Amino acid sequence: MEQPFRDRRDAFLRKILRRSAVMGILNVTPDSFFDGGQFQTIDASTAHARKLVADGCDIVDIGGESSRPEATPVSAADELARIETIVAQLAPALDVALSVDTSKARVAARALELGAVAVNDVWGLQQDAAMAGVVAAADAIVVIMHNRAEKDETLDIVTDIRRFFDRSLALAAKAGIARERIILDPGIGFAKTSRQNRDALARLGELKDYGLPIMVGVSRKSFLGSLSAGNPEASLIGTVAANLAAAAQGARIFRVHDVAEHVAALKVFHEIRA
């Protein structure tokens, strides 16, 4: 990792030790559940990334494959074709760090070569056996997210999350990923019932004993619809409310579509808490 990108990596890690951080979502996909198809051109994706930064995000997360339920899988070559140019353009141009949202080691390796400093892996190092080694070799940050092949409503979801994290952390340690560069994500909306999503958010405090930063990604997800009126405004309000509930439980990083609203809400939250 080149020194300018190493500096951005370290600046981000220092931030999340002191305060909440906002990760802005940039999906360069045709089929993501909320913003699919909006930012597929270089001009559109660049403009949106700059808006995310202007609105106050601390890191931009670029994804080239939708992880929504029933999304069509794409090859590593196709995923790279979607993200390679935009990562190359944005990495030296933005004032914040870049993350790549992928579970493929080949895609992660190329994005890290181009200047990304973090890998947001929705399978927590457990899908691609080469991923942990790629992250370790680049001295990159990794987000380990809980996931499952399918829902199981009989599970105590936090117990399952902990089992998953324990396996992923063992893989990270074996590969030599520094613990200070690991972030945990309970995977809200991934292979969980609506009740399990609520339980995972309500019980985030049970993950504090890992001593690692916790990220949540609830932005505009469908389970919020059952808790609100279901219109776009309610979806945003529900997202902000869920993220503030997560903040109260100790979450430090919030992966969102709506950056400005969350920056403002978290500022008020922390002013009151202080």
Active site residues: 221, 255
In total, the chain counts a number of residues equal to: 274
